[in-house]
């Protein structure tokens, strides 16, 4: 199964009436920003419903490795050996609550429980648990689609006249 990108592409900007510009990020910049924070949200299916869990992460190459602190999350992500993994999304952002400026990145891809030789990398130990007890389990997300944007301030002159009124 192949995941295809949808939505806006990098390099396309949109200026809002509030004097902000939405600048869409390319894959490399989005992954670089994701590597600057240690926590985000894992989105997956649990009992046929969408579920979201805050988790800590590392960016390893283009992959995102997350620590699971909840056994039910791990159970939802386990697949049979040889299968392509479970489709998940991962989101992280830094957006100022006052100015609403910042960035957001969403990665969609296949998740695999870290096992075997990968356990030797000590991902679970390198990722601090954010709350409660830890399962010491980690999941590797192989991104198929990487989308992101920056919300940037622009001068009032940069807002087209037709959008100012």
Q: Say if CB 126 and CB 58 are below 8 A apart.
A: yes
pLDDT band at 146 (very low <50, low <70, confident <90, very high): very high
Q: Is the pTM of this model over 0.75?
A: yes
Task: Give dist(CA 15, CA 24) in Å, integer.
Answer: 12
CA distances from 79 to 56, 83, 119, 123 (A): 22, 7, 17, 20
Q: Quote the pLDDT of residue 10.
A: 58
Examine residue 4 and state whether it is found in any structural domain, yes or no. no
In this structure, is residue 80 part of a structural domain?
Answer: yes
Residue 9 lies in a domain: no
Neighbours of 140 (CB within 10 A): 21
Quote the domain boundaries for residue 140: 16-154
Is 161 within a domain? no
Question: Quick check: is 10 in a domain?
Answer: no
CATH of the domain at 87: 2.30.110.10
Q: Which residues pair with 21 in a beta bridge?
A: 15, 152
pLDDT at 156 over 80: no
Per the structure, the count of domains in the chain is: 1
């Amino acid at each position: 199964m192949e995941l295809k990108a949808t939505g806006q592409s990098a390099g396309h900007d949109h200026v809002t009436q509030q004097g902000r510009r939405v600048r869409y990020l390319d894959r490399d910049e989005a992954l670089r920003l994701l590597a600057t924070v240690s926590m985000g949200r894992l989105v997956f299916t649990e009992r046929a419903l969408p579920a979201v869990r805050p988790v800590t992460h590392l960016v390893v190459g283009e992959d995102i490795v997350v620590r699971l602190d909840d056994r039910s999350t791990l159970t939802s992500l386990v697949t049979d050996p040889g299968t392509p993994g479970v489709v998940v999304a991962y989101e992280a952002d830094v957006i100022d609550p006052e100015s609403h400026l910042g960035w957001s990145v969403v990665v969609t891809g296949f998740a695999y429980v870290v096992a075997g030789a990968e356990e030797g990398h000590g991902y679970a130990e390198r990722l601090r648990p954010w709350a409660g007890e830890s399962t010491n389990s980690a999941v590797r997300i192989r991104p198929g689609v990487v989308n992101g944007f920056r919300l940037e301030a622009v001068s009032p002159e940069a807002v087209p006249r037709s959008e100012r009124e």
